[in-house]
Structure formats: C-alpha cells, structure tokens
Chains A and B, each alone.
Chain A
Amino acid sequence: MTPLRRVGLLWVLILAIFAGFNIAYWPVWRHQQRHDPKNFMTLAEAHREAGELARAIAVLEQGIAGFRPPKAQPYVQLRGYLREQGRAEDARALEPIIVFYHGTGRTAPEDRAEHWAQAVDLYLERSPAPLTAPLTAETLARLAGRLAAIYGIEEAVLAWESERHYALLQLLDGGIAPRRAIGETGVDSPVDILVQSGGGEGLRRTAHLFIGNRDFAGVGRGFHAALVDPESGQALQWGVFDLWDEIEEAHRMQRFLESAAPGVIGVFAVLDEGSVNMTPGLEAALIDFGLYPEARINREKRLLGMRYSFAAIGVKGAAPGSALQVWSPGEFAGHPGRPVNCGVLHDRRGG
C-alpha cells in the first residue's frame, strides 16, 4: 500500500470517529447553546415563535438584568415584543438607551454626539431633570464629560446644559436618585453623592467618588471605597483596595467595611478590576451594605466579574438588594462595556 493510501485510510478512520462524535454531541450541544443564559435573545425568540410572548419578554428582561448587554439589539428586541403585547408606553421608555447604543456604534464623532443628544431629548421628554446645586451641576458635567471623552465627544457634551448632563448619566442605568434616597434602604443621604466607575482598560480606567463636591477616589487600580457619616455627610474613611494581585487586599477591604457602624453610608467604585481576589468574606461584607449579586458569571450570580465597571451606594445593615448599584460588563458578545454612574442628589425644586 502506498504511503498516501495509508494516510487516506487513517484519515477516513479519524473522520468517521469525528462524525460519530458529532452525531452524538451535536444535539446535546445545540440544546445547551439554546439554554445557555448568555443566549437569552435566541431563547426569547424561540418562546415568541411558540406563541409565548409573556415568557419571551420575561426571558429578555432577565437576560438584560443579568448581563447588562452594552449594545442596542436586546433592547430593540424587547421594544418589539412590548409593542406586540400592546405596551406602547413601556416600549417608548426603551427609546433613549436604544438611540444611545446606536450612537456609540457610529464611527463619526458628530454622528455619535447627535445620537446622544437625541437620546437625551427622548429621556427628558418623559422624565424631567432635577434642579441641582451649582456645585453638583459642575460634578455632573465632569462625569458626563468623562463618559463622553471615552467615546471621543467630550467637547460636544460639555457644551450641554446641566439637565442634559444629568439625563445622559441617568438614561443608561437609572442609578441617580433625585431625592437623596439611597435606593430602597430607607436612608436619605445628607449630602449629594455622585459615583462613576469606568472599569475596563484604556480611557475607561477611571473612578470618582464625589461626596459633596470633593472626590474621595484614590489613585490606581481596584475597589475605591469611602464611608460616610449618615448624619453629617462627612467622609469618615476612604481607601483603594487592589483586588487584582493580592488576596490580602480583600481581607484589608473586608476589615475596612466591617469596621463601619450600622447606618454608615458606603460608597464604591471600581477602577479597572475589582473581582479577581474577591473572597466570599468580602462579598458578604459588601452585601451587608445592601448590595446584591446580580451579574451572571459562569452560571453563577456574582457582584461583578472581570473588568466590570461597578458603582454603588449602600448603607451598612441594609437588606441585600436595597442599595443603589449599577454595573456594566467588561465585554459582552464582543461589545466592550461602558462606564456606569450612580448617585443621590437633592432636587432644589423639592417634591
């Protein structure tokens, strides 16, 4: 037998083995792919095609809540389903974020700025911005400018009025409470607090913890945290904990959080990375501030994953899930995540 014939014979044998493997593996793989939580859009569409629209909407909403996809498609799909179900008003509420994400995908900066302006208009049509103190307005402008800088349109955004800065930060995550109420904790902050976490790499490597008008964020990678007196609004302690390299940093942060008295306000923002050495003890200490693991990572729910942006304001001793907490993934389906913002503001209009 010639060498080439022998090669051919063995190749046929290997290909037959691989074909047999495929016959057995493919149905299992397809089933898994379909039920992989990451493929929630496909699963939702399958439910819709089967006539289960309510279930399709629930799957999409859970997917969006668990992955916070930084792209327009899931929101467009949800808007379509809501319209189909006759919930036109709910569908309209998704318009600003859809227009925002369509804008981030544009290559020309002018296009991007135009889309963002449109998104802000759509948002302000439905939800008026609070009237903030001048110094808080300055902080809002800084944060909006920082967000815009990442997308190369800082100049255009900084030229906007204060209410538009608020709307831009708010339409993405809804993390800014205009009446100083810290989520569902039942605690009102005595001071305006604004937090921004860039997460990720490059220009996104940013964190701000504005308490009053002073930024208590430190320098460098990690979890930036500050503890605020719930009566006076004064920052009691603050620090940066680099959870990338050393587990000891997680223990240090845990001790820092556990030293806070009940009722103390905790303010958190991640710069670059805050998950690699997250210990169960530290996670429990953060949950004790009313934070809640809602990000889906490898079939588990965690507070945050690799290179996630993450910002939160909580209260020591609050029920899990009651804090203000916003996040965006490092990347989702090839789309990079984005900076997130949360805060508590005093609306000078009252009400």
Chain B
Amino acid sequence: MEHPIALYVMIGCGAFLITFLLVPVFRELARKLDVVDRPGDARKVHHRVIPYLGGVPFYIAFLATVLFIAVLYPQYSQPFHYPMCLVGTLIVLMGLYDDICDMSSAKKLPIELALCALLFFWGFQVAEVAHPLGGTWHVGWLAFIITPIWIAGIINAVNFSDGLDGLAAGLVFICAAAIFAIAFMGGQIASCIMMAYLMGATLAFLRYNFNPASVFMGDTGALFLGFVLGASTLLEQQKGVATIALAVPMVVMAIPLVDTFLSFLRRVQRARQGRFFTPDRDHLHHRLLDLGLTQRQVVLSMYYLSICMGLMAFILSVAPPSFGFLILLLAGMAIFFGVLVLRFIEALGQRTAQGGEAGD
C-alpha cells in the first residue's frame, strides 16, 4: 500500500501551526479567567504562576485534522474519526473541570473508564494480545474489560508524566514518532495519520512548554493527548490488521507506563490508610529531581530513555517472533535494573545525608 506522504506532512504541519498559533491565545484566556497553576503544593516544582489551557489547542487541532481529511482526502477518512472527536470532547470537558475545580481521582478514573468503554462499541477493541513467544491470543469477551483499561492506562500515564516542563509533550512526541515509524513500515495509513497529528501538535506545544514553561497543557491537554494516543494504538486492530499488537505500544510507552504502574502499587500500599486516590511526590521525575538533577536534566534523561524504548519497540516490530521475546525480556530487565539502580542511588544519598547530619 502506498503511503500518502504529502498528507502526513500536511497533517503534521497543520497541527503544528494550529497549536503554535492558538497556545498564546488560550494562555491569555487562562490568565484572564484565572485558570492558572499556583506553586505551593509539594508535588509542584515551578515557582511562578503558570496559566493552564495550553491543551485546548490540541483538541481544536484534532477536530481540524479530522475535518481536513473528510473534506479534502475523503478516501482516508475513517469511521472511527467521529467517535474519537465525540469522546475526545467529553474528555476535554472533564479535563477543564479538573483544571479549575481539581477533581479527585476517585471520580475521574471511573468516568475515564466509562468514556473509554464507549469506544468499545464503536469497534475500538483489544481483540488480540501479543504473547511473548510470537503470535497473539484472541481475548474474546475480555476485550470489553481490557480495552477501557488500556486506553485509561495510557491517559493516566501521560497525565502522571505531566509533572515537569515539557515532559508529557516530549514523551508523547517520542512515542508518536516511534509508532509512526512502525506503522509506516507496516503500511498502516490510519495510524500514521494520527501519529503525524500528535507529532505536529506536541512539537508546537514544546515551543511554549519546554523549560522554562510559559503555559501548561493541564489535565485538559494531558488527558486528551493520552486518549488520542491510547485509542490510536487500537486503530489497526479494529481494522483487522493486528500487526501492532499491544506489545509494541507497551514498549514505546514503557517509561510513563512503568511510572503509572509503580504509582498504582504505591497507592495500593496507601489504600489501608484510605489514601488510594491521594497523589504523591514519588513519580520517577520527582525522584530524579530529588537526586539533585535539574528540571532540564530530568526531562532530557526521560526523553533519552523513551527514545531507547522507541527504538527497541521498532526493532521488536520488525524482528522475528523468537527475537521479539528476547527484546521484550531485555526491555523488562532494563526497566527492572533501572528501578533498582535508582533505589540504590536514593538509598546511598539518604545514607550520606544522614552521615552528614550525624557529623554536624
């Protein structure tokens, strides 16, 4: 199948331009409406008042992309575009409420799952799950449970990574680029289109959001980007060409997903004290900051790790299944040792600090 490269370029550039032009507009609107993030909370690392609403242009750029394809390139218009716009709108509304009124996770998570479950009925389904020795499992009715968990998992992974300037947008850009390359090799035009949009929009946003940030995407942007990314990984599956099984996006998204998983484990530990839905300051980027790295250093380190994972996912997608298992094993071991090394350095740091205090 021949790729419409000109269309990818136009979509990427269009999303870039719309986001680039609209972010300052919404930044001003956020200032006027006092929709801002104030420093003070221990989890927050910025020291100035920063406006939210930087994520609304993502949504507008997405609608414009869908309309552009439908009017000028109807041959590439897909039945899933409209459901994504509809559910995306609901997610943006929820994100706006969260940015202004601070919605608790206890309310947010069930709504996210319900909205993602809606997509199941439009054909977004995790029907096949890759198994480590090659091939896939057909999950049958379990697809109804796995699908919303998968999309909501990606949404939260992006949302949790939105803790430092440029981190969430940069990670989404890298993931989108990796999935674009994999989908391009597999001739999957629908995925390429979505990834071109994500790359354009996030790259433009980084102009304003990279350290020192002048605007935040807020939950509006993080939830929406996560939603588009999560739903897009199911596109080719719902079309019946399951070459991008879940293993590939899982490796691409490994860093934010592992962080989300570790956060979930911490929350389970806290659940006994009734604090499951209480956020903490133990995310990967927080812990790297605590080790003394600057915000830029942490963000660039996370970019680097994500690029490595993206490359690994690309190799996984082209490698024979027998090697695929080894690559997955390698990725798992790299993540495991990464976590161990981090804990070791943290422990060492604490011991040195205690030693210093004792010496004083």
Where the two chains meet, the residues of B that have a C-beta atom closer than 8 Å to any C-beta of A are 1, 33-35, 53, 56, 59-60, 63, 66-67, 70-71, 74-75, 77, 79, 82, 85, 89, 92-93, 96-97, 100-101, 134-135, 138, 239-243, 320-321
Contacts and interface: CB of A to CB of B under 8 A. Distances in A.
Nearest to A24: B67
B100 A3 contact: yes
Interface stretch (A13-21, A63-71, A104-112, A136-144): A13-21
A107 B321 CA distance: 40
A298 B89 CA distance: 27
11 contacts: A11-B97, A14-B59, A17-B60, A28-B71, A28-B77, A36-B79, A276-B242, A298-B239, A299-B75, A306-B242, A307-B240
At the interface, is chain B mostly helix, strand, loop or mixed?
A: helix
Interface in A7-54: 7, 9-11, 14-15, 17-18, 21, 24-25, 28-29, 32-33, 36
A246 B240 contact: no
B193 to A, nearest CB: 14
Which size class do A's interface residues fall under?
Answer: 20 to 34
Q: Which 8 A-B pairs have the closest CB atoms?
A: A306-B240, A21-B63, A28-B70, A18-B89, A10-B96, A3-B100, A7-B100, A6-B33
A33 B67 CA distance: 15
A29 B70 contact: yes
B33 A10 contact: yes
A329 to B, nearest CB: 9
Given A7-B100, A28-B70, 18 more contacts: A6-B34, A7-B96, A10-B96, A11-B96, A17-B60, A18-B63, A21-B85, A25-B70, A25-B85, A28-B71, A245-B135, A245-B321, A246-B321, A276-B242, A276-B243, A298-B239, A305-B240, A330-B240
What is the predominant secondary structure among interface residues of chain A facing chain B?
helix
B70 A7 contact: no
Contacts of A297: 240
Contacts of B66: 21, 25
Given A24-B67, A246-B321, A14 B56 contact: yes
Contacts of B75: 299
Contact of B74 (A7, A28, A246): A28
Contacts of B59: 14, 17
B56 A18 contact: no
Given A10-B96, A245-B135, A25 B67 contact: yes
Contact of B85 (A11, A18, A300, A306): A18
B35 A14 contact: no
A165 to B, nearest CB: 30
B135 A244 contact: yes
A32 B241 contact: no
Contact of A201 (B97, B138, B321): B138
A305 B89 CA distance: 33
A152 to B, nearest CB: 18
A297 B240 CA distance: 10
B60 A7 contact: no
Contacts of A24: 67, 71
B188 to A, nearest CB: 10
B63 to A, nearest CB: 5
A14 B89 contact: yes
A6 B67 contact: no
A280 to B, nearest CB: 10
A21 B65 CA distance: 11
A53 B129 CA distance: 46
A9 B33 contact: yes
Contacts of B56: 14
A28 B53 CA distance: 30
Interface centre among A9, A21, A33, A300 (most CB of B within 10 A): A21
B82 to A, nearest CB: 6
A299 B56 CA distance: 34
A330 B34 CA distance: 54
Contacts of A1: 33-34
A25 to B, nearest CB: 6
A17 B220 CA distance: 15
A118 B85 CA distance: 48
B240 A25 contact: no
Contacts of A276: 241-243
Given A25-B82, A28-B70, A14 B92 contact: yes
A18 B242 CA distance: 32
Question: Which has the most chain A C-beta neighbours within 10 Å: B63, B75, B240, B243?
Answer: B240
Interface string A276-310: 10000000000000000000011110000111000
